[in-house]
Amino acid sequence: MQQGSQVTAKAGGGRLIGEVQAKRGLVMIGAMQEKDSKTNAAGGQTLGQNAYAEMARRIKDWGQELGFAAIGIAGADVSAATPRLMAWLALGRHGEMDYMAKHASLRADPGRLLPGTLSVISARLTYWPEAADAEKVLADRELAYVSRYALGRDYHKTVRQRLQALADRLRGDIAALAPAQPFSCRVFSDSAPVLETELARQSGIAWRGKHTLSLTRGGSWHFLGEIYTNLPLPPDAPIADHCGDCRRCLDVCPTQAIFAPYEVDARRCISYLTIELQGAIPVDLRSLIGNRIYGCDDCQLCCPWNRFAGLGDADFAVRNGLDAMPLAALFAWSEEEFNRRLAGSALRRIGHQRWLRNIAVALGNAPGSPAIVAALASRQDDPSPLVREHVRWALAQHTARGV
């Protein structure tokens, strides 16, 4: 997640890049081929070191035109980060996220996702939306809190599309400069086993905060994406950690999931409980969830660096009024309405059943009122055993308070 100011990508951005770079390319091709190229065994021309350095500069220009807040380049060696990953998995702190353990070896070796990977282009796209005040929504237990990243369009689509446009431009540049140069690449947007934060750190576009999220001097409200490529692009210098002695993210975590600096037990994390967990939410954690029905931002809301955040990309503007919607209203959505309203949203990934599960918990934590109790009672006979169990728990909370 990230922040800071960003240039919003405009319609026809790919065409604009093509026009700009076509003019620039006519000049660059001649210069590079004459001054910094070499001939391979087949007699074809490939690029040299200076040409790759210039290409890296252009990649960053293209990224800015596409709306990315930052583009950096890293090598393909993530061995320094893999011991921490393996220890985390060995302790079972990934919970039911079996894919984390199943594909750990792919995270540890980028070459297994794209054979011959030499460089990783890491991108950062900001998302902080113009929305109802997050702290006020969290304080009003009759409202639903949705993690700010999920209020607009599904980030997977936006980030991937823009990275693909960047990769296509790079492919065209290689073809024009050195047709004989072998080229391969693969685009990722939280869509494969990738050590995103480590690659962002190595590429110089973010550091790893104590909450384990990627962080910059402009905050943490951003998404990350990557392009693996076989091109030997010059890497950028890694960015230093600027968390200092601060431990606000640890102290504020509602469930103490951040139990030590740079250490998170996903099994206690509200984002995991409301998004990744398939079954029942542990009873001892339900009251700590408050009104958070999808994700949790507490560790970011308290971060001093997020004071410098600016508005993010227009794609992530609030949809369906989800920045401050009454819990009871959302609990009344049918499955058809859920799917229709949340088309193109990351929220749909949990499905209607877990949506109701999460809201039932939040309603159980809400102030007692006839309206809240009536909303819960309307789902007492829901077809889903999962929903019914959480509704019973929520109604019992209100009974215990004398409502």
146, 295 Cβ separation under 8 angstroms: yes
Handedness of CA 269, 274, 278, 279 (dihedral sign): positive
Query: Which tokens in the block code for residue 232?
Result: 């030997």
Pairing of strands 263-264, 258-260: antiparallel
Residue 287 marked in a binding site: no
224 is known to lie in a ligand binding site: yes
Q: Annotated binding residue at 243?
A: yes
Q: Please, which residues have CB within 8 angstroms of residue 51's CB and are 6 or more apart in sequence?
A: 32, 36, 37, 177, 178
- Quick check: 85 and 103 in contact, CB under 8 A? no
Q: Is 268 annotated for ligand binding?
A: no
The Cα–Cα gap between 35 and 41 comes to 19
User: Does the annotation list 265 as a binding residue?
Assistant: no
Is 190 a known active-site residue?
A: yes
* 302 marked ligand binding residue: no
Contact status, residue 51 vs residue 25, Cβ threshold 8 Å: no
Taking alpha carbons only, the member of 55, 72, 110, 75 closest to residue 203 is: 72
CA–CA separation, 107 vs 117, rounded Å? Answer: 13
Annotated catalytic residue within 36, 168, 190, 382: 190
185 is in an annotated binding site: no
Indicate the annotated binding residues for [4Fe-4S] cluster. Answer: 243, 246, 249, 253, 269, 296, 299, 303
Indicate the annotated binding residues. Answer: 107, 190, 224, 243, 246, 249, 253, 269, 271, 296-297, 299, 303
Indicate the annotated binding residues for cob(II)alamin. Answer: 107, 190, 224, 271, 296-297
The residues annotated as belonging to the active site are 190
